[in-house]
Amino acid sequence: MMKDKNNMEMDNFAWSKLAIYRSREIKDEVDCLKKNYSNLKKDMLLKILDSLRADSRKNVRNLAANFHNFIENRKSEIERIKAMYSFDKKFGNYVYTAGVDEVGRGPLAGPIAAAAVILNLNCREDGELILGIKDSKKLSPKRRCELSEAIKHKALGYNISVINNTEIDKRGIAWCNNEVLKRAVEGLKLPVDMVLSDGYPIKHLFGNNEFIIKGDAKSASIAAASIVAKVYRDSLMKEYSHIYAEYGFQHNSGYGTKEHIEAIKKYGVCKIHRMSFLKNIIM
């Protein structure tokens, strides 16, 4: 079996002599190949697929079909992500382009949060791309967390900004929505040349800003920012759920679900509720 998974060579596993291995061993090896796909060369992949397809065992040939589908899906995903990176580059040949997005505009409780992310838009190899990024709402919580870590690891820079419920009640959600985006960008350590925002421009922001309708589905930088912001805020609301257990913040993240509204009517409000959002609920 392969010892060094980051520098795989054909002689680590005798793909031309699959009969000497049990099906379970072969499946484990194929799973390992999937995890290290970016290190594999095209000619190596073809030889492996040919060996799997030539095996007399049906379950091994099924592995070949599964691995082939994985390869095709991976190719499609790489092309999708490359298109998102290219989308960001079309606004100009800037040194640093940041994507920014917010989460938490509509909840009845908790802060509004925003993230600004600077990606390396000039990746030389496919392995440098962050695969899987998209509108954060279309990802499972587990996948969002995985991608958030990958983004923070591979990004050239990122910053998260938060405005709490007290300031939301004082200033209004429209002002806070703009301000949290502005603070997220201004908190970046690198000198940003272009800021891409989702849906509308950011007022009073120094420098270039392009706003993109449904930007988290088109722009790699905005999609990355939306994921980082959502994971951060959801995690924060889970922490609040340990303090204010009655409201189910670990499930609803402060949004006005039926259970959350019933809890407000039963227990009253807590310190992180937005009073300006509750006028029609606690009349």
Instruction: Tell me: do 35 and 158 sit in the same domain.
Output: no
pLDDT tens for 54-81 read 989 999 999 999 999 999 999 999 999 9
Residue 176 within any structural domain of the chain = yes
Residue 1 within any structural domain of the chain = no
Q: What are phi and psi of 193, to 5 degrees?
A: -95, -30
Does pLDDT of 11 surpass 60?
no
Instruction: Tell me: do 20 and 41 sit in the same domain.
Output: yes
Segment 20-34 mean pLDDT: 89
Residue 211 within any structural domain of the chain = yes
Segment 204-230 mean pLDDT: 96
Residue 261 within any structural domain of the chain = no
DSSP letter for each residue of 51-114? HHHH-S-HHHHHHHHHHHHHHHHHHHHHHHHHHHHHHHHTT---S-EEEEEEE-SS-SBS-EEE
pTM of the predicted structure, to 2 decimals: 0.88
Predicted confidence at residue 80, as pLDDT, reads 96
pLDDT tens for 85-95 read 999 999 998 99
Instruction: Tell me: do 182 and 121 sit in the same domain.
Output: yes
Contact 228, 103 (CB under 8 A): no
Residue 271 within any structural domain of the chain = no
Question: Which residues, in sequence order, are CB contacts of 165 under 8 Å at separation 6+?
Answer: 109, 110, 111, 272, 273, 274
- Confidence band (pLDDT; 50, 70, 90) for 125? confident
Of 32, 54, 88, which residue is a domain's last?
88
Q: Which residues are annotated as a binding site for a divalent metal cation?
A: 101-102, 198
Please identify which residue in the block is written with the tokens 């301000």.
179
CATH code of the domain in which 197 resides: 3.30.420.10
Of 88, 116, 145, which residue is a domain's last?
88
DSSP letter for each residue of 225-275? HHHHHHHHHHHHHHHHHHHSGGG-HHHHTT---HHHHHHHHHH---TTB-G
Instruction: Tell me: do 68 and 113 sit in the same domain.
Output: no
**Tally of domains within the chain:** 2
Segment 7-12 mean pLDDT: 50
Predicted confidence at residue 38, as pLDDT, reads 77
DSSP letter for each residue of 138-161? GS-HHHHHHHHHHHHHHSSEEEEE
Residue 114 within any structural domain of the chain = yes
Instruction: Tell me: do 209 and 116 sit in the same domain.
Output: yes
Segment 123-131 mean pLDDT: 89
Instruction: Tell me: do 164 and 198 sit in the same domain.
Output: yes
Residue 74 within any structural domain of the chain = yes
Instruction: Tell me: do 134 and 67 sit in the same domain.
Output: no
Instruction: Tell me: do 106 and 26 sit in the same domain.
Output: no
Instruction: Tell me: do 103 and 156 sit in the same domain.
Output: yes
- DSSP bridge pairs for 157: 118
Contact 40, 33 (CB under 8 A): yes
Does pLDDT of 9 surpass 60?
no
Quick check: helix, strand or coil at residue 201?
coil
Of 66, 88, 110, which residue is a domain's last?
88
Instruction: Tell me: do 184 and 103 sit in the same domain.
Output: yes
Residue 253 within any structural domain of the chain = no
- Confidence band (pLDDT; 50, 70, 90) for 151? very high
Structural domain of residue 206, as residue ranges? 97-231
Predicted confidence at residue 16, as pLDDT, reads 80
Instruction: Determine the Cα–Cα distance for residues 261 and 241; give it in Å rounded to an integer.
Output: 15
Does pLDDT of 50 surpass 50?
yes
DSSP type of residue 189: S
Predicted confidence at residue 1, as pLDDT, reads 39
Instruction: Tell me: do 105 and 225 sit in the same domain.
Output: yes
Q: Which residues are annotated as a binding site?
A: 101-102, 198
Instruction: Tell me: do 50 and 120 sit in the same domain.
Output: no
Predicted confidence at residue 283, as pLDDT, reads 65
